[in-house]
Chains A and B, each alone.
Chain A
Protein backbone atom coordinates (compact mmCIF):
# COMPACT_ATOMS: atom_id res chain seq x y z
CA UNK A 1 0.00 0.00 0.00
CA UNK A 2 2.71 2.41 1.02
CA UNK A 3 4.80 1.50 -1.97
CA UNK A 4 1.87 1.96 -4.31
CA UNK A 5 1.06 5.34 -2.85
CA UNK A 6 4.60 6.50 -3.12
CA UNK A 7 4.75 5.38 -6.70
CA UNK A 8 1.68 7.41 -7.44
CA UNK A 9 2.98 10.43 -5.56
CA UNK A 10 6.34 10.47 -7.22
CA UNK A 11 4.97 9.59 -10.62
CA UNK A 12 5.08 13.00 -12.21
CA UNK A 13 8.59 13.87 -11.19
CA UNK A 14 9.95 10.47 -12.07
CA UNK A 15 8.16 10.43 -15.41
CA UNK A 16 9.42 13.89 -16.25
CA UNK A 17 13.00 13.12 -15.24
CA UNK A 18 12.79 9.94 -17.26
CA UNK A 19 11.56 11.79 -20.30
CA UNK A 20 14.35 14.28 -19.86
CA UNK A 21 17.02 11.64 -19.47
CA UNK A 22 15.83 10.05 -22.70
CA UNK A 23 16.17 13.19 -24.73
CA UNK A 24 19.79 13.89 -24.04
CA UNK A 25 21.15 17.39 -24.08
CA UNK A 26 21.65 19.04 -27.45
CA UNK A 27 25.02 18.84 -29.15
CA UNK A 28 27.74 18.86 -26.56
CA UNK A 29 30.09 20.25 -29.22
CA UNK A 30 32.50 22.47 -27.38
CA UNK A 31 33.41 24.43 -30.46
CA UNK A 32 30.97 27.31 -30.59
CA UNK A 33 30.86 31.09 -30.66
CA UNK A 34 28.23 33.46 -29.37
CA UNK A 35 27.03 36.15 -31.74
CA UNK A 36 24.84 39.01 -30.60
CA UNK A 37 22.78 40.22 -33.48
CA UNK A 38 19.66 42.11 -34.33
CA UNK A 39 16.16 40.73 -34.36
CA UNK A 40 15.94 41.28 -38.11
CA UNK A 41 18.66 38.76 -38.96
CA UNK A 42 16.92 36.05 -36.95
CA UNK A 43 13.30 36.99 -37.58
CA UNK A 44 13.96 37.17 -41.32
CA UNK A 45 15.21 33.59 -41.31
CA UNK A 46 18.65 34.54 -42.68
CA UNK A 47 20.60 32.81 -39.94
CA UNK A 48 18.59 29.66 -40.36
CA UNK A 49 19.98 29.61 -43.90
CA UNK A 50 23.56 30.70 -43.18
CA UNK A 51 24.52 28.96 -39.97
CA UNK A 52 24.08 25.32 -41.04
CA UNK A 53 26.25 26.01 -44.09
CA UNK A 54 28.91 27.60 -41.90
CA UNK A 55 28.82 24.78 -39.43
CA UNK A 56 29.06 22.15 -42.15
CA UNK A 57 32.19 23.82 -43.47
CA UNK A 58 33.99 24.69 -40.22
CA UNK A 59 32.40 22.58 -37.48
CA UNK A 60 31.79 25.74 -35.47
CA UNK A 61 28.36 26.16 -33.92
CA UNK A 62 27.10 29.73 -33.90
CA UNK A 63 24.82 30.65 -31.02
CA UNK A 64 22.85 33.73 -31.90
CA UNK A 65 21.32 35.97 -29.27
CA UNK A 66 19.03 38.33 -31.14
CA UNK A 67 18.42 41.71 -29.59
CA UNK A 68 17.99 45.30 -30.72
CA UNK A 69 21.17 46.80 -32.15
CA UNK A 70 21.76 48.93 -29.05
CA UNK A 71 21.35 45.96 -26.74
CA UNK A 72 23.38 43.70 -29.02
CA UNK A 73 26.29 46.15 -28.87
CA UNK A 74 25.89 46.30 -25.07
CA UNK A 75 26.11 42.53 -24.93
CA UNK A 76 29.40 42.77 -26.80
CA UNK A 77 30.57 45.61 -24.59
CA UNK A 78 30.05 43.43 -21.48
CA UNK A 79 31.92 40.59 -23.16
CA UNK A 80 28.91 38.30 -23.33
CA UNK A 81 29.35 37.72 -27.07
CA UNK A 82 32.33 36.98 -29.29
CA UNK A 83 31.01 38.72 -32.37
CA UNK A 84 28.40 41.43 -32.92
CA UNK A 85 26.48 41.58 -36.18
CA UNK A 86 24.27 44.67 -36.33
CA UNK A 87 23.05 47.52 -38.49
CA UNK A 88 23.75 51.02 -37.21
CA UNK A 89 27.01 52.23 -38.68
CA UNK A 90 27.60 55.26 -36.40
CA UNK A 91 27.04 53.18 -33.26
CA UNK A 92 29.25 50.42 -34.64
CA UNK A 93 32.06 52.85 -35.34
CA UNK A 94 31.72 54.27 -31.85
CA UNK A 95 31.90 50.71 -30.46
CA UNK A 96 35.19 50.14 -32.28
CA UNK A 97 36.53 53.58 -31.39
CA UNK A 98 35.92 52.91 -27.69
CA UNK A 99 38.04 49.82 -28.01
CA UNK A 100 35.26 47.26 -27.50
CA UNK A 101 35.51 45.95 -31.03
CA UNK A 102 38.54 45.08 -33.13
CA UNK A 103 37.41 46.22 -36.58
CA UNK A 104 34.12 46.77 -38.34
CA UNK A 105 33.56 45.04 -41.63
CA UNK A 106 30.58 45.76 -43.88
CA UNK A 107 28.69 42.60 -44.83
CA UNK A 108 25.44 43.37 -46.62
CA UNK A 109 22.55 45.72 -46.76
CA UNK A 110 18.85 45.43 -46.98
CA UNK A 111 16.35 48.20 -47.13
CA UNK A 112 13.68 49.63 -44.98
CA UNK A 113 10.13 49.93 -46.20
CA UNK A 114 7.35 52.08 -44.85
CA UNK A 115 4.42 49.87 -44.03
CA UNK A 116 0.91 51.22 -43.75
CA UNK A 117 -2.76 50.29 -43.87
CA UNK A 118 -4.41 49.77 -47.26
CA UNK A 119 -6.81 52.61 -46.43
CA UNK A 120 -3.71 54.90 -46.46
CA UNK A 121 -5.02 57.84 -44.38
CA UNK A 122 -1.86 59.88 -45.13
CA UNK A 123 -2.31 59.41 -48.88
CA UNK A 124 1.27 58.40 -49.57
CA UNK A 125 1.00 55.00 -51.19
CA UNK A 126 3.35 54.48 -54.10
CA UNK A 127 5.56 57.42 -53.20
CA UNK A 128 9.33 57.05 -53.61
CA UNK A 129 10.10 60.00 -51.37
CA UNK A 130 10.33 58.86 -47.77
CA UNK A 131 10.85 62.41 -46.47
CA UNK A 132 7.66 63.71 -48.01
CA UNK A 133 5.77 60.62 -46.91
CA UNK A 134 6.77 60.97 -43.27
CA UNK A 135 5.99 64.67 -43.37
CA UNK A 136 2.48 63.77 -44.60
CA UNK A 137 2.04 61.19 -41.83
CA UNK A 138 2.90 63.83 -39.27
CA UNK A 139 0.75 66.50 -40.90
CA UNK A 140 -2.30 64.22 -41.05
CA UNK A 141 -1.64 62.86 -37.57
CA UNK A 142 -1.94 59.32 -38.95
CA UNK A 143 -1.14 56.59 -36.41
CA UNK A 144 2.57 55.62 -36.48
CA UNK A 145 4.25 52.88 -34.45
CA UNK A 146 7.86 53.43 -33.41
CA UNK A 147 10.13 50.70 -32.07
CA UNK A 148 11.43 53.07 -29.41
CA UNK A 149 14.02 50.51 -28.34
CA UNK A 150 17.32 52.05 -29.51
CA UNK A 151 17.57 49.39 -32.18
CA UNK A 152 19.14 49.95 -35.57
CA UNK A 153 15.71 50.33 -37.11
CA UNK A 154 14.74 52.82 -34.42
CA UNK A 155 17.81 54.97 -35.00
CA UNK A 156 17.21 54.77 -38.76
CA UNK A 157 13.65 55.97 -38.16
CA UNK A 158 14.86 58.90 -36.07
CA UNK A 159 17.34 59.87 -38.79
CA UNK A 160 14.54 59.76 -41.39
CA UNK A 161 12.32 62.07 -39.31
CA UNK A 162 15.21 64.55 -39.34
CA UNK A 163 15.54 64.18 -43.09
CA UNK A 164 11.80 64.87 -43.32
CA UNK A 165 12.35 68.00 -41.27
CA UNK A 166 10.14 66.81 -38.45
CA UNK A 167 11.37 67.35 -34.89
CA UNK A 168 9.86 64.19 -33.51
CA UNK A 169 10.53 65.10 -29.88
CA UNK A 170 8.55 68.30 -30.31
CA UNK A 171 6.01 67.35 -32.96
CA UNK A 172 4.96 64.02 -31.58
CA UNK A 173 1.37 63.61 -30.51
CA UNK A 174 -1.06 60.85 -29.72
CA UNK A 175 -0.55 59.53 -33.25
CA UNK A 176 3.08 58.61 -32.49
CA UNK A 177 3.28 55.44 -30.45
CA UNK A 178 6.58 54.20 -29.03
CA UNK A 179 6.32 50.59 -27.94
CA UNK A 180 9.88 49.82 -26.82
CA UNK A 181 9.85 46.37 -28.44
CA UNK A 182 11.27 44.41 -31.34
CA UNK A 183 10.39 44.53 -35.03
CA UNK A 184 7.88 41.71 -34.88
CA UNK A 185 6.06 43.25 -31.95
CA UNK A 186 6.00 46.61 -33.73
CA UNK A 187 4.45 45.01 -36.83
CA UNK A 188 1.89 43.18 -34.71
CA UNK A 189 0.99 46.45 -33.02
CA UNK A 190 0.74 48.30 -36.32
CA UNK A 191 -1.41 45.50 -37.71
CA UNK A 192 -3.76 45.75 -34.77
CA UNK A 193 -4.02 49.56 -34.92
CA UNK A 194 -3.81 50.02 -38.72
CA UNK A 195 -0.83 52.27 -38.21
CA UNK A 196 2.23 53.16 -40.28
CA UNK A 197 5.50 51.59 -39.24
CA UNK A 198 9.06 51.53 -40.53
CA UNK A 199 10.30 47.97 -41.00
CA UNK A 200 13.23 46.18 -42.56
CA UNK A 201 12.14 44.38 -45.69
CA UNK A 202 13.41 41.00 -44.54
CA UNK A 203 11.32 40.93 -41.40
CA UNK A 204 8.33 42.22 -43.33
CA UNK A 205 8.58 39.48 -45.94
CA UNK A 206 8.71 36.89 -43.19
CA UNK A 207 5.89 38.44 -41.23
CA UNK A 208 2.65 36.51 -41.37
CA UNK A 209 0.12 38.49 -39.34
CA UNK A 210 -0.23 41.33 -41.86
CA UNK A 211 -3.93 42.07 -41.62
CA UNK A 212 -4.61 45.28 -43.59
CA UNK A 213 -0.95 46.25 -43.84
CA UNK A 214 1.05 46.62 -47.02
CA UNK A 215 4.15 48.41 -48.29
CA UNK A 216 3.39 52.06 -48.96
CA UNK A 217 6.86 53.55 -49.59
CA UNK A 218 9.95 51.76 -50.87
CA UNK A 219 12.96 52.24 -53.11
CA UNK A 220 14.24 55.55 -51.72
CA UNK A 221 18.05 55.41 -51.43
CA UNK A 222 17.76 56.86 -47.95
CA UNK A 223 16.04 53.67 -46.87
CA UNK A 224 19.12 51.52 -47.32
CA UNK A 225 20.22 49.67 -44.21
CA UNK A 226 23.86 48.63 -43.90
CA UNK A 227 24.94 45.66 -41.75
CA UNK A 228 28.36 45.37 -40.20
CA UNK A 229 30.15 42.67 -38.26
CA UNK A 230 32.69 43.21 -35.48
CA UNK A 231 34.90 40.91 -33.42
CA UNK A 232 34.69 41.81 -29.74
CA UNK A 233 38.08 43.03 -28.59
CA UNK A 234 40.02 40.22 -26.85
CA UNK A 235 42.17 42.86 -25.18
CA UNK A 236 39.12 44.02 -23.22
CA UNK A 237 37.70 40.53 -22.76
CA UNK A 238 40.41 37.86 -22.84
CA UNK A 239 37.94 34.96 -22.99
CA UNK A 240 36.66 36.07 -26.43
CA UNK A 241 37.01 33.26 -28.95
CA UNK A 242 39.21 35.27 -31.18
CA UNK A 243 40.16 32.60 -33.71
CA UNK A 244 36.74 31.05 -34.24
CA UNK A 245 35.04 34.45 -34.22
CA UNK A 246 37.43 35.64 -36.91
CA UNK A 247 36.72 32.52 -38.98
CA UNK A 248 33.02 33.41 -38.88
CA UNK A 249 33.65 37.00 -39.89
CA UNK A 250 36.01 35.98 -42.66
CA UNK A 251 33.47 33.51 -43.97
CA UNK A 252 30.70 36.11 -44.00
CA UNK A 253 32.71 38.47 -46.18
CA UNK A 254 34.21 35.70 -48.31
CA UNK A 255 32.76 35.05 -51.78
CA UNK A 256 31.15 31.91 -50.42
CA UNK A 257 29.46 33.68 -47.51
CA UNK A 258 28.42 36.57 -49.70
CA UNK A 259 26.84 34.18 -52.18
CA UNK A 260 24.96 32.40 -49.40
CA UNK A 261 23.52 35.76 -48.33
CA UNK A 262 22.51 36.62 -51.88
CA UNK A 263 20.94 33.19 -52.33
CA UNK A 264 18.53 33.64 -49.43
CA UNK A 265 15.21 34.48 -50.98
CA UNK A 266 11.58 34.47 -49.98
CA UNK A 267 9.04 34.15 -52.79
CA UNK A 268 11.85 34.80 -55.24
CA UNK A 269 12.79 38.07 -53.58
CA UNK A 270 16.26 38.64 -52.21
CA UNK A 271 16.20 39.96 -48.67
CA UNK A 272 19.81 40.96 -48.19
CA UNK A 273 22.33 42.27 -50.72
CA UNK A 274 25.98 41.40 -50.01
CA UNK A 275 28.36 44.33 -50.32
CA UNK A 276 31.44 43.41 -48.32
CA UNK A 277 33.69 44.67 -51.06
CA UNK A 278 31.95 48.00 -51.58
CA UNK A 279 34.18 50.79 -50.30
CA UNK A 280 32.74 52.95 -47.54
CA UNK A 281 29.77 50.68 -46.88
Chain B
Protein backbone atom coordinates (compact mmCIF):
# COMPACT_ATOMS: atom_id res chain seq x y z
CA UNK B 1 0.00 0.00 0.00
CA UNK B 2 2.97 2.34 0.44
CA UNK B 3 3.75 4.20 -2.70
CA UNK B 4 7.12 3.59 -4.22
CA UNK B 5 8.36 7.14 -4.43
CA UNK B 6 9.13 8.09 -0.83
CA UNK B 7 9.84 11.58 0.38
CA UNK B 8 12.81 10.03 2.20
CA UNK B 9 15.67 10.31 2.70
CA UNK B 10 15.46 13.52 4.67
CA UNK B 11 18.66 15.49 4.56
CA UNK B 12 19.31 18.02 7.31
CA UNK B 13 22.27 20.24 6.69
CA UNK B 14 23.87 22.79 9.01
CA UNK B 15 20.62 23.43 10.81
CA UNK B 16 20.76 26.29 13.35
CA UNK B 17 17.97 28.09 15.13
CA UNK B 18 18.02 31.21 17.21
CA UNK B 19 14.98 32.42 19.13
CA UNK B 20 15.04 35.82 20.85
CA UNK B 21 18.83 35.91 20.55
CA UNK B 22 19.32 32.53 22.21
CA UNK B 23 21.03 29.90 20.06
CA UNK B 24 18.90 26.84 20.66
CA UNK B 25 20.16 24.61 17.90
CA UNK B 26 23.65 24.68 16.47
CA UNK B 27 24.77 23.36 13.12
CA UNK B 28 23.00 20.01 13.07
CA UNK B 29 23.50 17.79 10.02
CA UNK B 30 22.13 14.31 9.49
CA UNK B 31 20.16 12.08 7.15
CA UNK B 32 17.05 10.08 7.89
CA UNK B 33 16.46 7.10 5.61
CA UNK B 34 13.38 4.95 5.27
CA UNK B 35 12.39 2.55 8.01
CA UNK B 36 12.55 2.00 11.73
CA UNK B 37 12.37 4.41 14.64
CA UNK B 38 15.01 6.99 15.29
CA UNK B 39 15.01 8.18 18.93
CA UNK B 40 16.17 11.63 20.01
CA UNK B 41 17.41 11.60 23.57
CA UNK B 42 19.24 14.05 25.76
CA UNK B 43 18.63 16.33 28.73
CA UNK B 44 15.90 19.01 28.84
CA UNK B 45 16.72 21.97 26.66
CA UNK B 46 18.90 19.94 24.36
CA UNK B 47 16.89 21.06 21.32
CA UNK B 48 15.07 17.79 20.56
CA UNK B 49 11.58 19.28 20.22
CA UNK B 50 12.90 22.23 18.29
CA UNK B 51 14.68 19.89 15.88
CA UNK B 52 11.46 17.97 15.24
CA UNK B 53 9.50 21.18 14.67
CA UNK B 54 12.08 22.43 12.21
CA UNK B 55 12.03 19.16 10.30
CA UNK B 56 8.22 19.18 10.23
CA UNK B 57 8.18 22.75 8.97
CA UNK B 58 6.39 24.38 11.90
CA UNK B 59 9.31 26.79 12.24
CA UNK B 60 11.83 28.22 9.87
CA UNK B 61 15.52 27.75 10.74
CA UNK B 62 17.86 30.70 11.21
CA UNK B 63 20.27 28.97 8.88
CA UNK B 64 20.75 25.58 7.30
CA UNK B 65 18.32 23.47 5.30
CA UNK B 66 15.79 20.71 5.68
CA UNK B 67 15.63 18.91 2.35
CA UNK B 68 13.37 16.04 1.40
CA UNK B 69 13.84 13.65 -1.44
CA UNK B 70 10.60 15.01 -2.87
CA UNK B 71 10.03 18.72 -2.85
CA UNK B 72 9.08 20.02 0.59
CA UNK B 73 8.20 16.56 1.86
CA UNK B 74 5.15 16.57 -0.39
CA UNK B 75 3.85 14.19 -2.98
CA UNK B 76 1.23 15.37 -5.45
CA UNK B 77 1.06 18.55 -3.36
CA UNK B 78 0.20 16.68 -0.18
CA UNK B 79 2.37 16.76 2.91
CA UNK B 80 3.70 13.25 3.52
CA UNK B 81 4.98 13.74 7.02
CA UNK B 82 2.93 14.16 10.19
CA UNK B 83 3.56 15.07 13.79
CA UNK B 84 2.31 13.98 17.21
CA UNK B 85 2.80 16.42 20.04
CA UNK B 86 3.60 15.98 23.71
CA UNK B 87 0.25 17.51 24.66
CA UNK B 88 -2.20 16.14 22.10
CA UNK B 89 -4.50 18.90 20.86
CA UNK B 90 -7.97 17.59 20.19
CA UNK B 91 -10.52 19.49 18.13
CA UNK B 92 -13.78 20.27 19.91
CA UNK B 93 -15.50 17.42 18.14
CA UNK B 94 -16.10 13.74 18.53
CA UNK B 95 -13.32 11.19 18.21
CA UNK B 96 -14.38 10.11 14.74
CA UNK B 97 -14.83 13.71 13.62
CA UNK B 98 -11.25 14.47 14.63
CA UNK B 99 -10.08 11.86 12.14
CA UNK B 100 -12.58 12.94 9.49
CA UNK B 101 -11.34 16.52 9.82
CA UNK B 102 -7.73 15.47 9.15
CA UNK B 103 -8.75 13.33 6.18
CA UNK B 104 -11.04 15.97 4.70
CA UNK B 105 -8.30 18.56 5.06
CA UNK B 106 -6.02 16.22 3.13
CA UNK B 107 -8.55 16.29 0.31
CA UNK B 108 -10.67 13.18 0.86
CA UNK B 109 -14.36 13.45 0.07
CA UNK B 110 -16.67 13.47 3.06
CA UNK B 111 -17.84 9.88 2.54
CA UNK B 112 -14.38 8.52 1.89
CA UNK B 113 -13.02 10.38 4.91
CA UNK B 114 -15.69 8.84 7.12
CA UNK B 115 -15.02 5.35 5.78
CA UNK B 116 -11.28 5.64 6.38
CA UNK B 117 -11.77 7.22 9.80
CA UNK B 118 -14.03 4.39 10.96
CA UNK B 119 -11.54 1.84 9.63
CA UNK B 120 -8.68 3.53 11.47
CA UNK B 121 -10.64 3.55 14.74
CA UNK B 122 -11.28 -0.18 14.35
CA UNK B 123 -7.67 -0.84 13.62
CA UNK B 124 -6.32 1.04 16.64
CA UNK B 125 -8.97 -0.26 19.01
CA UNK B 126 -10.62 3.15 19.39
CA UNK B 127 -13.97 2.20 17.82
CA UNK B 128 -15.88 2.16 21.15
CA UNK B 129 -14.88 5.80 21.69
CA UNK B 130 -15.95 6.97 18.22
CA UNK B 131 -18.78 9.27 19.32
CA UNK B 132 -17.22 10.58 22.54
CA UNK B 133 -16.15 14.23 22.67
CA UNK B 134 -12.42 13.95 21.97
CA UNK B 135 -11.46 16.42 24.67
CA UNK B 136 -13.11 14.32 27.37
CA UNK B 137 -10.85 11.32 26.73
CA UNK B 138 -8.14 10.28 29.16
CA UNK B 139 -4.56 11.30 28.45
CA UNK B 140 -3.68 7.88 27.05
CA UNK B 141 -6.79 7.74 24.86
CA UNK B 142 -6.08 11.24 23.54
CA UNK B 143 -2.53 10.32 22.61
CA UNK B 144 -3.68 7.14 20.85
CA UNK B 145 -6.19 9.21 18.95
CA UNK B 146 -3.47 11.74 18.07
CA UNK B 147 -1.29 8.96 16.68
CA UNK B 148 -4.23 7.50 14.79
CA UNK B 149 -4.97 10.99 13.42
CA UNK B 150 -1.40 11.22 12.13
CA UNK B 151 -1.31 7.63 10.85
CA UNK B 152 -4.66 7.79 9.04
CA UNK B 153 -3.06 10.05 6.43
CA UNK B 154 -0.52 7.31 5.62
CA UNK B 155 2.52 9.57 5.87
CA UNK B 156 6.02 8.33 5.09
CA UNK B 157 7.33 9.82 8.31
CA UNK B 158 5.76 10.63 11.66
CA UNK B 159 7.56 12.91 14.08
CA UNK B 160 6.67 12.27 17.71
CA UNK B 161 7.55 14.65 20.53
CA UNK B 162 7.68 12.74 23.84
CA UNK B 163 4.28 11.14 23.22
CA UNK B 164 4.27 9.11 26.44
CA UNK B 165 5.86 11.57 28.87
CA UNK B 166 2.52 12.25 30.62
CA UNK B 167 1.22 8.70 30.61
CA UNK B 168 1.11 5.82 33.06
CA UNK B 169 2.93 2.56 32.21
CA UNK B 170 -0.20 0.84 30.88
CA UNK B 171 -1.02 3.63 28.48
CA UNK B 172 2.64 3.86 27.50
CA UNK B 173 2.55 0.18 26.54
CA UNK B 174 -0.49 0.71 24.35
CA UNK B 175 1.21 3.60 22.58
CA UNK B 176 4.33 1.53 22.06
CA UNK B 177 2.28 -1.28 20.55
CA UNK B 178 0.78 1.20 18.08
CA UNK B 179 4.23 2.50 17.18
CA UNK B 180 5.57 -1.02 16.68
CA UNK B 181 2.72 -1.74 14.29
CA UNK B 182 3.40 1.42 12.33
CA UNK B 183 7.09 0.56 12.08
CA UNK B 184 6.19 -2.92 10.90
CA UNK B 185 4.08 -1.39 8.14
CA UNK B 186 7.04 0.59 6.97
CA UNK B 187 6.28 4.00 8.42
CA UNK B 188 9.43 5.81 9.46
CA UNK B 189 9.24 7.27 12.98
CA UNK B 190 11.38 10.00 14.50
CA UNK B 191 10.66 10.37 18.19
CA UNK B 192 11.99 12.44 21.06
CA UNK B 193 11.83 10.64 24.41
CA UNK B 194 13.17 10.78 27.94
CA UNK B 195 12.34 7.16 28.52
CA UNK B 196 15.59 5.26 27.90
CA UNK B 197 13.85 1.91 28.28
CA UNK B 198 11.43 2.95 25.57
CA UNK B 199 14.27 4.04 23.32
CA UNK B 200 15.89 0.66 23.84
CA UNK B 201 12.67 -1.20 23.11
CA UNK B 202 11.76 0.70 19.94
CA UNK B 203 14.71 2.49 18.41
CA UNK B 204 16.97 1.32 15.67
CA UNK B 205 19.04 4.48 15.84
CA UNK B 206 19.80 7.01 18.58
CA UNK B 207 20.48 10.73 18.17
CA UNK B 208 21.96 12.13 21.35
CA UNK B 209 21.46 15.90 21.71
CA UNK B 210 22.91 18.21 24.32
CA UNK B 211 22.75 22.02 24.55
CA UNK B 212 21.59 22.44 20.97
CA UNK B 213 24.18 20.19 19.41
CA UNK B 214 24.00 16.71 17.98
CA UNK B 215 26.64 14.96 20.08
CA UNK B 216 26.25 11.38 18.99
CA UNK B 217 24.50 9.54 16.16
CA UNK B 218 24.73 5.78 16.59
CA UNK B 219 22.89 2.48 16.12
CA UNK B 220 20.81 1.89 19.27
CA UNK B 221 22.54 -1.28 20.32
CA UNK B 222 25.99 0.25 20.22
CA UNK B 223 24.87 3.49 21.83
CA UNK B 224 23.48 1.78 24.91
CA UNK B 225 26.34 -0.65 25.35
CA UNK B 226 29.19 1.62 24.44
CA UNK B 227 28.44 5.32 23.91
CA UNK B 228 31.24 7.07 22.11
CA UNK B 229 31.00 10.48 23.73
CA UNK B 230 31.77 11.16 27.40
CA UNK B 231 28.63 13.31 27.63
CA UNK B 232 26.34 10.51 26.49
CA UNK B 233 28.10 8.12 28.78
CA UNK B 234 27.50 10.44 31.72
CA UNK B 235 23.86 10.88 30.73
CA UNK B 236 23.28 7.16 30.51
CA UNK B 237 25.12 6.56 33.72
CA UNK B 238 23.05 9.17 35.50
CA UNK B 239 19.89 7.57 34.28
CA UNK B 240 20.94 3.99 34.81
CA UNK B 241 22.34 4.50 38.29
CA UNK B 242 18.98 5.92 39.20
Direct contact of A and B (CB under 8 A): yes
Task: Identify which of residues 1-51 in chain A touch chain B, using a CB-to-CB cut-off of 8 Å.
Answer: 1-2
Interface residues on B, range: under 10
For chain B residues 121-161, which have a beta carbon within 8 Å of chain A? Answer: 131-133
Output the nearest chain B residue to A2 by Cβ-Cβ distance: B94
Shortest distance in angstroms between B141's beta carbon and chain A's nearest beta carbon? 16
Nearest Cβ on chain A to B131's Cβ, whole angstroms: 5
For residue B100, give the distance in angstroms from its CB to the closest CB of chain A.
11
Establish whether residues B132 and A2, one from each chain, have CB atoms under 8 Å apart when the complex forms. Answer: no
Q: Does B23 contact A (CB under 8 A)?
A: no
A1 touches B93 (CB 8 A): no
A residues within 8 A CB of B94? Answer: 1-2
Residues of B within 8 A of A1 (CB): 94, 131-133
Is B162 an interface residue, CB under 8 A from the partner?
Answer: no
Bound: A2/B132 CA distance, A: 8
Bound: A1/B135 CA distance, A? 14
Q: How far is the CB of A135 from chain B (nearest CB, A)?
A: 76
CA distance A2 to B133 in the complex (A): 8
CB distance from A55 to the nearest CB of B (A): 55
Contacts of A2 in B (CB 8 A): 93-94, 97, 131
In chain A, what residue has the closest Cβ to B96? Answer: A2
- A257 and B226 CA atoms in complex are apart in Å by 113
Question: What residue in chain A is nearest B97 (Cβ atoms)?
Answer: A2
Closest residue of B by beta carbon distance from A1: B131
Q: How far is the CB of A57 from chain B (nearest CB, A)?
A: 61
CA distance A2 to B101 in the complex (A): 14
Alpha-carbon distance between A277 and B197 when the two chains are bound, in angstroms? 110
Query: In the complex the two chains form, what is the Cα distance from A2 to B93 in whole Å?
Result: 7
Q: Which of B71-102 contact A (CB under 8 A)?
A: 93-94, 97
Inter-chain contacts of B131 with A (CB < 8 A): 1-2
Chain A nearest CB, measured from B35 CB (Å):
39
Query: In whole angstroms, how far apart are the Cα atoms of A2 and B97 in the complex?
Result: 9
B71 to chain A, nearest CB (A): 38
Which residues of chain A are near B133, meaning CB under 8 Å?
1
A150 to B132, CA, bound (A): 67
Contact with B along A140-170 (1 / 0, CB 8 A): 0000000000000000000000000000000
CB nearest neighbor in A for B132: A1
Chain A residue at minimal CB-CB distance from B130:
A1
Chain A residues in contact with chain B, CB under 8 A?
1-2
* B binding-site residues for A, Cβ under 8 Å: 93-94, 97, 131-133
Can you list 8 A-B pairs, Cβ within 8 angstroms, ordered by A?
A: A1-B94, A1-B131, A1-B132, A1-B133, A2-B93, A2-B94, A2-B97, A2-B131
The 7 closest A-B pairs by CB, nearest first: A1-B131, A2-B94, A1-B94, A2-B97, A2-B93, A2-B131, A1-B133
Known: A1-B133, A2-B131. 6 other contacts (CB 8 A): A1-B94, A1-B131, A1-B132, A2-B93, A2-B94, A2-B97
